[in-house]
Amino acid sequence: MLETTLSPTNPARRAMIDSQLRTSGVNAPEVLARMNKVPREDFVPESARATAYMDRAIKLDNGGALPAPLVQGAILQEAAPRGSEVAIVVNNGSGYLAELLRPMVAEVIELTPAEALAAGTGGKPADLLLVDGAAEQLPEALLARLADDARIVTGTVEGGVTRLAIGRLTDGKAALFPVQDMGIPRIAAFDAPKGWTF
């Protein structure tokens, strides 16, 4: 059974919940419980452990980034995970979002951006896709891993502005609706090809 009550824990973690998440509209009990339980400092470089709960993204040693806590809280709240679902999480180098999600669904398939660009290897299509970063476009190979009408929560990039967006897979395409402007680290591997314009 998923824990939904908050118990005393790391003071920085509680401050993150009270001053960043709750004040910004992230109030789903199951989301707050998971973010209260999972030690965010375990997903950043040693040099960043002391600032793991600050309201900012953290660069990782592998070239990726851990988004600010509000980003992951908002992603989980918008996703409203259901216990029976298979979910894909595209992580941007940390694995934190996948760990938050793990007990909220039946199965978590964690992919790097490079793996998301590659053709899938079969298996049950996913019901839910979470992208822990901002993408100019979602790769066709990634969308091919989803069930028809699968739910999608991702960051998007348009004109240099990043936004949280929600949507569904419709006829093999991601139909997305922007929810909120938000500073979300960009996933360069998901940039659209650049071409000449006139």
Residues of the chain falling short of pLDDT 70: 1-9, 195-198
Q: Read off φ and ψ for residue 189, nearest 5 degrees.
A: -65, -20
* Amino acid code (one letter) for 99: E
Q: What is the pLDDT of residue 1?
A: 45
Domains, the chain: 11-190 (3.40.50.150)
Q: Given this model, what pLDDT does residue 122 score?
A: 75
Cα angle for residues 183, 73, 31 (degrees, 5° grid): 180
Q: What is the pLDDT of residue 63?
A: 87
Question: For residue 2, which of 24, 28, 39 has the smallest C-alpha distance?
Answer: 28
For residue 33, what pLDDT is reported?
Answer: 94
Instruction: Return the axis-axis angle of helices 29-37 and 69-79, rounded to nearest 10°.
Output: 140
pTM for the complete prediction? 0.92
Residue 142 near residue 117 (C-beta atoms within 8 A): yes
Q: Which of 62, 121, 64, 54 is nearest to 88 (CA)?
A: 121
The predicted pLDDT at position 4 comes to: 54
